[in-house]
Structures are given as C-alpha cells and as structure tokens.
Structure 1
Amino acid sequence: MRFAILEDDPAQLEVLMGWLKEAGHDVHGFGLARELMRVASRESFDLFLVDWGLPDLSGEQVLRWLRVERSNDTPAIFITARDAEEDIANAFSAGADDYVVKPPRRIELISRIEAVLRRSQPRTTNQTLVVGPYSFDLAKKSLVVDGSPVEMTDKEFELAAFLFRNLGRLLSRGHLLEAVWGRNPDLATRTVDTHISRVRSKLNLRPENGFRLTPTYNFGYRLERIDPSEAPSVGEVALSSS
C-alpha cells in the first residue's frame, strides 16, 4: 500500500514512517500541508495519515480540501494530540475515517489502518479476485477470462490485478509504478503506459465488454465498470471520427 503522512514533527514523522515501512508499505512523508496538497494534486495514495496542528494549514483544512475540492475519497486517519469530543466530531465531519490520539501505539495504529483499508478495498477469498468474467488466482499469478486462460507476464498480471482491486479509482502513474515495480529510479513512467496498453489489449477492456480503462492527462489511469449498453455502436464511432 502507498501511504502519505502529514506530520510537522520530524522525530514523530520518522517513527511513523519506520513503523509503516516495516509493515511493508510505501510511505511518503510531508512536513507542510501545502506540500502534501501539491503532490496529492498529481499523485494518488491508498491512505492519508494527517496531523491536525501544522505550520501553514490545519489537518482539518487539508482533509476538507481533499474531499471537496479534489473529490478524493481516499481513506484518511487523523493522528493528533487533540482529544476533545468536539475536535473528534469535527474530524469525522471533515471526512476522517478514524481518529488516533497521540502518542500513537504501533500495534494499535497498524490494526486501525488495516481495519480502515479492509472497509475500502474489495475482499478477496482464498487468494482469488473475481470481477465479472475476470478471475485472478493471486497465488499462481494466473488469469482466466470467461473460462479461458490469458497468457501474461508477471508484471502485466500484477498491474491488471492492481487495477481490478482499485476498480473505479483514479490511480497516478507514480502509484502504479510503485505498486507493481517498486521504487526504482531507473524506470520511467512510460513503462506504465506500455504495460497499460498491453493489459487493455489482452483483457479486451472495452466499453462494449463492460469495462473502460481510460487515461487522465498528466495524472494516470482509471479502470471503470460500465453498462455495455452505454457504449457507442460501431456506426456511432465511425460517424464521430469522420
């Protein structure tokens, strides 16, 4: 998972990042609210961990910006010293999914994070992810579509599975790159575009088949499930392109 932590105390930020990296997550730390907001405008995350008191803007203002201005429903947890009932109520009103009072405890925090993510992610059973005609065996890295196996490389499979796990979400190229290839400075985001094209072709992700995999300029991609009846007919496509 890819997390963003907003915490202006360098020591506290280092501790939190250490805990979550040990738990196997990719973690990005920010000391200023506007710094996180700048990055969140062009990158996607699986979870935001937000402090309340910050030098520039409050954590509440950041969360309201995410929810209202960016229409971003990524799960968010407040980690703050504020423990008044009114503050907690305001945090949930701003769109928080959970609230942790400082000092956080490692096991409790990780458990709360896992609980929030379980509510936001599709469930898988016995290492199998099934969405419509697409059946992913996550352990064997094999995919069957309408009963027929699809030949894919490991990276193509991982990318396809990640897209289907995040059906409907707009995912940045950086997020996709980290999730599938890890943090590798030698890889360009063009790698994502190339593999997206292959996945779209091999899985036939077309509106007429009930799925749409579309790019968003200067950001990334979104895989959506749609009603095939809403897809334009061949005649309409030809007419619109003439």
Structure 2
Amino acid sequence: MSEPGRQRTAHEAAMDEPMRITLIDDEPTHVAHMRHALQLPLPGRDGRPLVQTIGSVQVLHTLRQCSTATDAMVVDWLMLRDFGGVLPPLTLPAGTGRAPALVLLPRHVPEPDLCRALGMGAEDYAFKPIAAAELRWRLARLSMPREAPMPHYGAWRLVAVTHSVEVRADAPRPGHPRLSVTLTECEFRLLASLLRQRNAVVSREYLIASAILAFQNPDSRALDTHIYRLRRKLPLDGSRGLLLQGIYRRGYRLCATEPGERR
C-alpha cells in the first residue's frame, strides 16, 4: 500500500488485483498439478490467481467467435499443434493486445515441431511437466510490465532489475549515509512482500509462496534463514524507519518506526 498523500501508480494497483490465468491443457493430471501450484498468490501479487481451464481443441475453436480476456495463458504445445499451430486469440483484460503465453513443450519434441513452436512468438517456453516453482516464477514474470516503475516506500526504494535496495541518505534523521545493498532474488522477493504489507503480520505460508521456496513446510527453518540474512544485510532494526519483527508461529511483521513511514 502507498504512503499517505501519494497517489498509487497504475502498476501498484494492478499488483493488488488477482491475476487471471488460463490453462490450456487436455491432461487432467497435469492440470491438477498446475492448479495446486496456483493456490497461493504469485510472487509480487497480493491476490490469489483466478484460474480457468480449457481442455479441448473444440473449445479453442469457439474462442475465434468470442472475446476471452486473461492476464496470461499456459498452453500445451500438442493442443496448439492440433489447433493449427497458432496461439489462441485470448486478449488482455484492458483489450490492449494478445495475452502473454507460456508454451509447454514435450521433453522429447521432434525438431520440426520445435522450430514450429518457437516460431509462434510466445513470450516464454518451458518443458512439460513443469515444476510448481518454475510455473509460478514464469507466470509472475509474464505479468510484470516491461518498464515497471521502481517501488518506493518512504526512504526505501526497490530496484527489481538488480535485486537491490536503496535507502535515502539522512533518512529518517540527519547523519545517516545513503545505502545500496544487493540481495539474492529470494531475499528481494521476501522484502518486497513484507514492504507491500508493512505494519501487518504476514503469514509464513504467504512468505514461503511469494519467495518460491519450493513449497516447503511452513515449519521449515529455510524461511527463517533467509530472514536472518536480510537482517544481516539491511538496517531492519528500526534505525532507518523499518523494524522487522518475528511473530511466534504466525509469521513476520515489518513495522514503520517513523510517522512518515506508516501506512
């Protein structure tokens, strides 16, 4: 959520909306696997994805006569091949063009089929069956604008391209130097999740999902290890406007310690 007095950007508002995902696959077992992977919010998103499934080429053909909106589609190549080797006419909700596509290829695909698939111009490709963590990462990246603004929270600013954090000089009080710290991708995702929901308790399950820690058990110490590393790298002790607290058996809370930093 944005600071008081600052109008939220369109990008920030979009990230709060649940992502609409269309799974185009005729293998029930693999569809169930993907649906399970999408039961929690994607990295960088606050809402649980809204998932719909298209399981037959016949239904794909009906899309030629009606407009269907989605934020991203995951498409099985074998279904696409039977559909004519072209991407389905699914559009973005704003009507600004075709929805981005992740095409799933067989592990052993003949070279002519591979060349044909790669020539479709899909935004991303992966092999099937796709791992849960990989599916979530790829969909999260498909949903990000190519030139997304750098989110900032008071004196703190996130730079997604380099997975770094910048803290403005003299914040929150004179005498503090400017900081620029590079994080691992996992650490960056964790911090971004905590910042978006600062002053609120964020559950262990949500943090694990948002950082893609391979669907580890919420009682796993892996999350705590990453939080420990964040504390070692960043001034999250309240001295620079943010205090990271552990809430026993629930999760973590990142609190604003200066009035200007509170939500």
TM-score (norm 1): 0.43
Which has the larger Rg?
A: 2
- Relative contact order higher in (CA < 8 Å, ≥ 6 apart): 2
TM-score (norm 2): 0.40
